[in-house]
């Protein structure tokens, strides 16, 4: 039997790397698109253990020709669109770049699939940031969306584009509205990885302080491994649809911080934590919490990691120094 084929944009990111692993385990041929960057040696760190089993090619979602070429050649069964500028605070500093990668990147990819591989099933990475400061908590697929950043407005646009192509072109396009999902492969400029790495450095005597922003906001944090499984399940369903992926548990940044320090046996986190305006957002999303009832009911998806499991996995992974080799440094976070 012919192997099923999948194309992943954004394959070098946290989610791309876990998804590629999952699809390889399931027997897929996996094609990953990687944009040319100035430091190619650090770009594929998250894929190093599986590079030999993947087909990696240069390609950028803003470069329609590269998308068309890959899709025409591969004729994939499934296309996972994960490429983005995914940092919310950076989107205030680079709003035009963020909007182009997310919005033009999405419409390019939808057009390219429509022309070169119209029967492929498409996963679009939407985001819980689209809910922003919604009054509807916990949020579900019907909740009001009040996006609060250029990143979130772009994601909302891309989400609607995906629905429009689903209806108007009769394409199989599903939106996964994923709440925050973390892992030892998380970039160090996201708060969970920054806290875990910072606490490990403090414990080892390598650092004396951890500089953060708003500790009062709360998020619904799950493990990226569980969330990429949800992506795959969406594309195995009989019809395209929109699914929210969350744990339903809301935790403040402060509580996350305290749990990590407690787990590492460091008595008083606030001896080390400094708050800097540098990390305070110009328009904060105060709370995010999702209700995953729909995906549980229709696809049978459930998270397998609790928040403590996630923290343990991040501590274990980061203490082995896996993220230390990544392109981002704490200073740049």
Least distance (Å) from ligand GDD to the CB of residue 226? 14
- 14's tokens: 């946290």
Site string for ligand GDD, 36-55 (x = CB under 6 A): --------------------
Is 219 a binding residue for ligand GDD by CB under 6 A? The answer is yes
Is 189 a binding residue for ligand GDD by CB under 6 A? The answer is yes
Of 4-12, 103-111, 122-130, 308-316: span binding ligand GDD (CB under 6 A): 122-130
Which of 74, 101, 116, 191 binds ligand GDD (CB under 6 A)? It is: 191
Is 179 a binding residue for ligand GDD by CB under 6 A? The answer is yes
Considering CB under 6 A, how many residues would be counted as binding ligand GDD? 23
> Residue 270's Cα: distance from chain center in Å?
29
Q: Does the CA dihedral 258-264-268-269 come out positive or negative?
A: negative
- Complex with ligand GDD: residue 5 or 223, whichever CB lies closer: 223
Helix axes 191-203, 307-319, angle to 10 degrees: 60
CB atoms within 10 A of CB 206: 10
Least distance (Å) from ligand GDD to the CB of residue 146? 13
- Complex with ligand GDD: residue 173 or 212, whichever CB lies closer: 212
> Which ranges of the chain would DSSP assign to H, the alpha helix?
14-25, 40-43, 64-74, 88-93, 95-99, 105-116, 150-168, 191-203, 224-236, 253-263, 293-299, 307-319
Is 85 a binding residue for ligand GDD by CB under 6 A? The answer is no
Is 247 a binding residue for ligand GDD by CB under 6 A? The answer is no
CA distance 31 to 195: 33
E strand or H helix that includes residue 57: strand 55-58
- Complex with ligand GDD: residue 58 or 283, whichever CB lies closer: 283
Least distance (Å) from ligand GDD to the CB of residue 329? 13
Of 4-12, 112-120, 278-286, 309-317: span binding ligand GDD (CB under 6 A): 278-286
CA distance 119 to 72: 12
Cβ proximity of 330 and 198 under 8 Å: yes
Is 127 a binding residue for ligand GDD by CB under 6 A? The answer is yes
| 36: phi then psi, degrees, rounded to nearest 5 | -70, 125
CA distance 56 to 126: 24
| 81: phi then psi, degrees, rounded to nearest 5 | -100, 100
Is 253 a binding residue for ligand GDD by CB under 6 A? The answer is yes
Is 165 a binding residue for ligand GDD by CB under 6 A? The answer is no
Of 68-76, 92-100, 127-135, 197-205: span binding ligand GDD (CB under 6 A): 127-135
CB atoms within 10 A of CB 217: 16
Least distance (Å) from ligand GDD to the CB of residue 79? 19
Of 136-144, 213-221, 303-311, 318-326: span binding ligand GDD (CB under 6 A): 213-221
Of 184-192, 231-239, 295-303, 316-324: span binding ligand GDD (CB under 6 A): 184-192
Cβ proximity of 76 and 7 under 8 Å: yes
Is 279 a binding residue for ligand GDD by CB under 6 A? The answer is yes
Is 108 a binding residue for ligand GDD by CB under 6 A? The answer is no
Nearest to 325 by CA among 184, 200, 181, 222: 184
Bridge partner residues of 245 (DSSP)? 178
Binding residues vs ligand GDD (CB under 6 A): 86, 88-89, 127-129, 179-180, 189-191, 194, 212-214, 217, 219, 253, 279, 281, 284, 288, 333
């Amino acid at each position: 039997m012919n192997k099923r084929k999948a194309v992943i944009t954004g394959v070098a990111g946290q989610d791309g790397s876990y998804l590629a692993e999952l699809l390889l385990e399931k027997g897929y041929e996996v094609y990953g698109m990687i944009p040319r960057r100035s430091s190619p040696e650090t770009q594929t760190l998250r894929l190093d253990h599986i590079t030999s089993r993947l087909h990696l090619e240069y390609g950028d979602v803003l470069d329609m020709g590269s998308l068309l070429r890959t899709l025409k050649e591969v004729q994939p069964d499934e296309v996972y669109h994960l490429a983005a500028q995914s940092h919310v605070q950076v989107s205030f500093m680079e709003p035009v770049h963020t909007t182009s990668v997310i919005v033009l990147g999405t419409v390019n990819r939808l057009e390219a699939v429509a022309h070169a591989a119209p029967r492929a099933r498409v996963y679009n990475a939407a985001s819980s940031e689209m809910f922003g400061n919604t009054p509807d908590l916990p949020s579900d697929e019907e909740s009001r969306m009040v996006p609060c950043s250029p990143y979130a407005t772009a994601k909302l646009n891309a989400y609607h584009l995906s629905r429009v192509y689903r209806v108007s072109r009769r394409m199989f396009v599903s939106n996964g509205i994923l709440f925050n999902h973390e892992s030892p492969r998380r970039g160090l400029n996201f708060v969970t990885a920054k806290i875990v790495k910072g606490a490990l450095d403090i414990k080892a005597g390598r650092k004396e302080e951890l500089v953060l922003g708003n500790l009062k906001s709360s998020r619904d944090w799950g493990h990226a491994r569980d969330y990429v499984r949800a992506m795959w399940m969406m594309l195995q369903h009989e019809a395209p649809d929109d699914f929210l992926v969350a744990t339903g548990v809301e935790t403040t940044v402060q509580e996350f911080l305290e749990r990590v320090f407690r787990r590492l046996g460091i008595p008083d986190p606030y001896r080390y934590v400094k708050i800097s305006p540098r990390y305070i957002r110009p328009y904060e999303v105060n709370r995010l919490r999702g209700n995953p009832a729909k995906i549980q009911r229709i696809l049978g998806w459930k998270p397998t990691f609790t928040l403590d499991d996630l923290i343990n996995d991040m501590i274990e992974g980061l203490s082995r120094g896996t993220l230390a080799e990544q392109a981002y440094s704490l200073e740049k976070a």
